[in-house]
Structure 1
């Protein structure tokens, strides 16, 4: 059997040989994979143009730069960070109890910009202040004491004292104009002076008229003479203007009123001399009553404005003397609200099932309106507050909260008193945090941003600001990373070359051949990579077309070497061209056409682009111009179908609710756009619309998507009908861009053209975002070394690649040998059984022969004895 088993050794030797080849290909595959990994930072030409961004003060900001940035040093000063608006309801006793009667009420959330000063409007200063002033300690604002004393006798003086502390309080003050009583001159009597009497009327120290002794009534100062003195031109008018005093009305009409615009106190004095009955008439003396003289002081109040639109806290020993009430608060004073159509709006419905703070909170959060609702307890007797916080930062993300009922029914009054908030109207909620932008300067130029991630303040640079303060930002070419990537590429190739040399070569010293010596696949891989590295790159317009020009060349032993000096010179002189030498580059001659991507099948070259059809959007345009004022009724809902497919899919249709109100055409377009875009069915699918008023005054609603799958349709469900706005207009579907590239057919999808398989432009993808039909210049494409090598490595390691195919073949051979060995082993079992059977038969035969031999011996012995 030992002889019979000798062929198994040959099978084992074959298996070992195949296993050695398989192991060798595993090593080769690993080396190719490592080499491919080294190409990661070189395959895109844009990787070579990235810049580093280093701030001097990392606490203030961090930054990243792209190839569009310009190297240099930039001074950045951050004065304000973006934040979201927060609104808080007045406190109530329970978060679970029902609010109101439970009637159906729709709460709408709109987002936009609130303008107008946010602060407090004070009342007129109290009378004693004009003579005694406001004692120190009477007023504190946001925890800062305002320095006042006996000289603080007017609103102007108080405003100056407040503004002196504005840096610490964050509050500025302005004095309101001081005006005399509107009825002060009603019943002005003709002035009569006796033999020792005189009379003078002064306003703010300006003498309006004077009368000496012994003048009869009607011959001196009268209502008519006062009006004449106030008639232009006159020295009185000039003096009043110099004092900042204006007037309205007439003395004769009894409605003469003086106003001092600077907020200083306005004194109106009647100066009388003489005996007790020496003067009659004047202010309030139409019946000829005796006038002993008078002095009236008109005071004004102050208006406070928060510099960051946050609530203002008033305290002190006598804030009422300053015309202010102790406590914390603030509203928009004469504010306006302008909706931002680019921020989706939304609605929630409150009824008897959810009309508690907790119910409203849950309804708002579930609706996904871009608002987070929470409940806060402050521990007071009415502790529970509902808090709304916008999910977006920026001054354009201020909230307007409207409430409407159903049909002609008004909203629940208790809910309206709790939740209504309109910067231009009722402000039932309290703004505790204002929506604000990031504000900064870059090299002295003012910049604003909706978020703390500031893009394009510096072209190609994104800033992330984290606190206020100053920092310089150094933008520089990231040449060290490029050099490191190239060095890694050279090393990875040499490692790959070393692996191939070891596997395919012969070790003369040890007299051993490599596991893949003479292997055609391994030799082919070696030659393909080397041939690719020694070829010039076609289609490049820059300074370089081969590796040797940037200092990368082959040594005599077949390894790559990097001449650092030559490479550094290339970086210093033509840094931008190095990227094209390694990565894939696509360029277009038309700035409204952009290169997007390519595949390994795309052939380098320059291709003429011809456009036969521009992409368009699906749209619906009203039949007639929109009315100057449009009222959207309560509970208005539309069925909107957006970007539907063929056959139609119900997922592309959703119910949209519009907030009730009366709108101008521009406001109506914003309401329609934000309401549709705020519908979760569309926002989750990435679908949206734009709405605008065209030059003819018509309302146009367009899908934001381009192409044949861009379409929109509207129909009424309740409330204001779509026909009342659009007049039964027919919607127009969008179209895909169409054309040819280098004369080759392409596939259009929206604004994107993609080269067809089997053509030179296969997989070449471009976007055409504007312009007109016709010739649109050229699209150039080239493949650098790293890009080509990466594609080659991917092909080699792919399911049908050389290495995979070869290893699959070896594995198949191993299995075939194993089957042959197993079959032979099975055959050996039968041979051994036959040998054993023959041995057993021979053993029996031998035993029989031995028995016969013994018998014959015995018989012969017996015969011998008898004889």
Structure 2
């Protein structure tokens, strides 16, 4: 049986010996750990460097565009009236803005319906066309009837009339249309409604009918007297004792003579604002007062008199006739007018809410979309009509609103239509047409027919309106609440009616902050680099990246870029950081001289951006900088254009007639800006309302119909339609380039040849040319430098009308832009820091594998040592046993 405990048989300390031997054998494990710790320390150090460089890049990201340095502050004195933003192109200054009206969309409401799902009409196929445009040349309000007969004598008692819930101050003296209009206008600030009195005109049959005179010769031979007065002006008088027709007697002829031009009576009437038409002899004599004042015609008689107005040879006992007028109400903002009061009929109005366009005309706006919906038995309900309109997506939205009325005969449900855009040119015109030669459904016409210049079956609840304002006294108009262009580079957002001053000034504080942030970010990065690569002579220790080439290269690259002047700048005297007060100190940090910076802000505000951002300047104003790439090099590059970008067009070759007739059920298939292979969404069918159109109306119809297709609008595809001086119609895609095209084919109804003749479609072309002599790729109006050259990634938009040399384009990369690109190169997936970190982590993994392998070998070495010493222990134990036996034997032999 072997020895179970090493050393027991021999006395050798096997475990201690093996342990000490293995301690010597295991010493390389500490070297592995030390090497791994060194690598991990560098990984951590590169992590810190990446974090610092990432923070530096983050600080640079806001400094790489021109807008970061050329911002201006726009400050309104009353921010409740408006807000404003200023771009880098704005000019500093002070402006006075007065807003008198805010843009709004038109809203129309239908008459009420009992149910939203009940059928409207018989279900005959009816096409409803929606056009958007401008109502002009009239007013919106209510035209009253002639004032009550009793008003001229008794006036209008207090409380008889109210407008928009405001009582109009009337009394017994309110006896004419003019006085009533004055009373209404006195409250217009409160009501938003003004009044205009119609001209007062005496009866057309007062002095005769059908050309026959009924003014009889005056006879005062019986002892009477006669006087005729008009509007308080004495026209003719006859003393007693004058027979009918005698010399000096009043006849129709003598009356006309008394009213002759330049006569005393005529001048007196003119002073009373009364004009004359017709003659007494002709039986059509009338008196007119333009301001709406009453005209009283009085025959004063004493004693026995015959003849006069309305009689011949019969007794005249005197007469008094007062002509009165009517008034019309005008809503200042196109809102409905509420008429009330105890007796509005005496003022010529019916109690209730109303209003319509009066004397207006409608003109479609080609820049607004138009569209059609088809209503038949499948959707002729309020809900069906609403869904069809909203699905059309052509500039009008629909909803259903209940007024809350109830009862057996209640009709609470109203279809509400609202133009999607604000502005006066978003006024709706809704026309309906039947199909197959049949008229449109009459109930649909009664529900939806609306023409500001004609029948208005819908009631307007809010008028389409522009924003109206003045800027420094100059009137400006905008279709939205935003005002652009009134002040160059400034966008004003109107909030309410009112006045406010606007101060536009250089945002020097933001610019100073940006420059200070740049210096601070660099110094923080520089401090981190210094700590990682520093050496302490006192402790004789170095930073984790002391002597590291990656760290040294990064530091050297940053300092080299900051010490190099910017090239490619045109028209500026600022080319280095020292000119704005930034300079290096002995310890490698940057310092900022604020006084020098402020001087540069004052004298070279717009040039500072070029020191930090990527900037492009062209000698040709029609060549504009879009963007650059990481491979774009600073420089001055000549531009040569061999081909300008063009639009896809469909040019008619037939002169349009004075009127072009579009038949009912006319539909055309339009393909706009299609691709290869074709895309289904780029083709749509438009419906053209039947009618007769002049060239301008036809162009408007086509443009708005095509632009009203939702699929086109969603893709940003639109067209313009123009009639040239030659009278021919031209459609053009608003896009440029090889993807710009338009094709139209007849589907049903009027053939396109009636409009375009045999005209053909021509696809657009991309811009072509070179930048600095290097090849470039055109896409629409954008020219992009091709890879491989210094203009790689440089994008320019080229407009204008000339080919050939287009001047020079100077491109510069400011310090922030260059350093941002440098940082991206170090931090990217293939960047130097990423590569170094990956390499170090791989080294740590390799060391761990080597350590595991070596540790595995140590087990074998220990086993071998134990086996050897265990064998030695056994041998010595055996020899000890033998020695002990021999000793015993020798001792025994010695005794013998």
Alignment TM-score, normalising by the size of structure 2: 0.91
Identify if the C-alpha distance between structure 1 residues 828 and 353 changes in structure 2 by more than 3 Å, giving closer, same or farther: farther
Q: In 2, distance between residues paired with 1:818 and 1:786?
A: 42
Q: In 1, distance between residues paired with 2:50 and 2:603?
A: 38
Counterpart selection for 2:370 from 340, 345, 348: 345
Paired position in structure 2 for 1:214: 242
Instruction: Please tell me whether residue 731 in structure 1 is matched to residue 731 in structure 2.
Output: no
Paired position in structure 2 for 1:54: 75
Counterpart mapping for 1:232-243 below 5 A: 232=261, 234-243=263-272
Paired position in structure 2 for 1:37: 58
| Deviation of the 1:859 alpha carbon | 10
Identify if the C-alpha distance between structure 1 residues 552 and 263 changes in structure 2 by more than 3 Å, giving closer, same or farther: same
Instruction: Please tell me whether residue 500 in structure 1 is matched to residue 514 in structure 2.
Output: no
Instruction: Decide whether the 8 Å contact of 1:190 with 1:217 is kept in 2.
Output: no
Identify if the C-alpha distance between structure 1 residues 502 and 147 changes in structure 2 by more than 3 Å, giving closer, same or farther: same
475-484 vs 717-726, which moves further = 717-726
Paired position in structure 2 for 1:172: 194
826-835 vs 756-765, which moves further = 826-835
Instruction: Please tell me whether residue 456 in structure 1 is matched to residue 482 in structure 2.
Output: no
Identify if the C-alpha distance between structure 1 residues 132 and 674 changes in structure 2 by more than 3 Å, giving closer, same or farther: same
| Deviation of the 1:852 alpha carbon | 7.8
Instruction: Please tell me whether residue 435 in structure 1 is matched to residue 492 in structure 2.
Output: no
Instruction: Decide whether the 8 Å contact of 1:85 with 1:431 is kept in 2.
Output: yes
Counterpart mapping for 1:263-662 below 5 A: 263-275=292-304, 278-280=305-307, 282-285=308-311, 288-380=313-405, 381-540=410-569, 541-662=571-692
Q: In 1, distance between residues paired with 2:817 and 2:97?
A: 38
Q: In 2, distance between residues paired with 1:192 and 1:559?
A: 117
Paired position in structure 1 for 2:15: none
Instruction: Decide whether the 8 Å contact of 1:48 with 1:578 is kept in 2.
Output: yes
| Deviation of the 1:198 alpha carbon | 4.3
Paired position in structure 1 for 2:726: 696
Paired position in structure 2 for 1:4: 25
User: Which secondary structure does the structure 1 equivalent of 2:60 belong to?
Assistant: coil
Q: In 2, distance between residues paired with 1:182 and 1:622?
A: 56
Counterpart mapping for 1:66-215 below 5 A: 66-115=87-136, 116-184=138-206, 185-186=208-209, 187=212, 188-195=214-221, 196-212=223-239, 213-215=241-243
Q: In 2, distance between residues paired with 1:561 and 1:326?
A: 80
Q: In 1, distance between residues paired with 2:31 and 2:717?
A: 69
Q: In 1, distance between residues paired with 2:156 and 2:253?
A: 40
Residues 624-647 of structure 1 show CA distances to partners (whole Å, capped at 9, x for unaligned) of 122222333333221100111223
| Deviation of the 1:579 alpha carbon | 1.6
| Deviation of the 1:216 alpha carbon | 3.3
| Deviation of the 1:552 alpha carbon | 0.8
User: Which secondary structure does the structure 2 equivalent of 1:39 belong to?
Assistant: helix
User: Which secondary structure does the structure 2 equivalent of 1:106 belong to?
Assistant: strand
User: Which secondary structure does the structure 2 equivalent of 1:493 belong to?
Assistant: helix
Identify if the C-alpha distance between structure 1 residues 841 and 72 changes in structure 2 by more than 3 Å, giving closer, same or farther: same
| Deviation of the 1:839 alpha carbon | 6.7
Q: In 2, distance between residues paired with 1:608 and 1:216?
A: 104
411-420 vs 119-128, which moves further = 411-420
Identify if the C-alpha distance between structure 1 residues 840 and 183 changes in structure 2 by more than 3 Å, giving closer, same or farther: farther
User: Which secondary structure does the structure 2 equivalent of 1:494 belong to?
Assistant: helix
| Deviation of the 1:352 alpha carbon | 1.9
Identify if the C-alpha distance between structure 1 residues 81 and 852 changes in structure 2 by more than 3 Å, giving closer, same or farther: same
Q: In 2, distance between residues paired with 1:341 and 1:386?
A: 26
Instruction: Decide whether the 8 Å contact of 1:407 with 1:719 is kept in 2.
Output: no
Identify if the C-alpha distance between structure 1 residues 837 and 137 changes in structure 2 by more than 3 Å, giving closer, same or farther: same
Identify if the C-alpha distance between structure 1 residues 279 and 20 changes in structure 2 by more than 3 Å, giving closer, same or farther: same
User: Which secondary structure does the structure 1 equivalent of 2:144 belong to?
Assistant: strand
Identify if the C-alpha distance between structure 1 residues 626 and 250 changes in structure 2 by more than 3 Å, giving closer, same or farther: farther
Q: In 2, distance between residues paired with 1:865 and 1:720?
A: 150
Instruction: Decide whether the 8 Å contact of 1:585 with 1:782 is kept in 2.
Output: yes
Identify if the C-alpha distance between structure 1 residues 351 and 825 changes in structure 2 by more than 3 Å, giving closer, same or farther: farther
Residues 663-710 of structure 1 show CA distances to partners (whole Å, capped at 9, x for unaligned) of 222122111111111111111111111111111111111101011111
- RMSD in angstroms over aligned alpha carbons? 2.6
Instruction: Please tell me whether residue 767 in structure 1 is matched to residue 797 in structure 2.
Output: yes
Q: In 1, distance between residues paired with 2:462 and 2:560?
A: 66
Instruction: Decide whether the 8 Å contact of 1:210 with 1:221 is kept in 2.
Output: yes
Alignment TM-score, normalising by the size of structure 1: 0.94
Instruction: Decide whether the 8 Å contact of 2:218 with 2:251 is kept in 1.
Output: no
Q: In 1, distance between residues paired with 2:553 and 2:876?
A: 67
Q: In 2, distance between residues paired with 1:337 and 1:834?
A: 109
Paired position in structure 1 for 2:3: none
| Deviation of the 1:476 alpha carbon | 1.6
Between structure 1 and structure 2, the one with the greater Rg is 2
| Deviation of the 1:209 alpha carbon | 4.5
Identify if the C-alpha distance between structure 1 residues 122 and 841 changes in structure 2 by more than 3 Å, giving closer, same or farther: farther
792-801 vs 300-309, which moves further = 792-801
Q: In 2, distance between residues paired with 1:732 and 1:256?
A: 68
Residues 45-91 of structure 1 show CA distances to partners (whole Å, capped at 9, x for unaligned) of 33221111222222222221111222222222222222222111112
483-492 vs 522-531, which moves further = 483-492
Q: Which runs of 5+ in 1 are unaligned?
A: none
Identify if the C-alpha distance between structure 1 residues 283 and 843 changes in structure 2 by more than 3 Å, giving closer, same or farther: farther
User: Which secondary structure does the structure 2 equivalent of 1:717 belong to?
Assistant: strand
Instruction: Decide whether the 8 Å contact of 1:77 with 1:469 is kept in 2.
Output: yes
Instruction: Decide whether the 8 Å contact of 1:179 with 1:299 is kept in 2.
Output: yes
Instruction: Decide whether the 8 Å contact of 1:504 with 1:519 is kept in 2.
Output: yes
Q: In 1, distance between residues paired with 2:259 and 2:789?
A: 91
| Deviation of the 1:140 alpha carbon | 0.8
Q: In 1, distance between residues paired with 2:202 and 2:619?
A: 73
Paired position in structure 2 for 1:751: 781
Q: In 2, distance between residues paired with 1:698 and 1:334?
A: 33
Paired position in structure 1 for 2:9: none
Paired position in structure 1 for 2:14: none
Residues 430-488 of structure 1 show CA distances to partners (whole Å, capped at 9, x for unaligned) of 11111212222222332222222222332212222222222222222111111111111
User: Which secondary structure does the structure 1 equivalent of 2:292 belong to?
Assistant: coil
218-227 vs 240-249, which moves further = 218-227
Paired position in structure 2 for 1:720: 750
User: Which secondary structure does the structure 2 equivalent of 1:123 belong to?
Assistant: coil
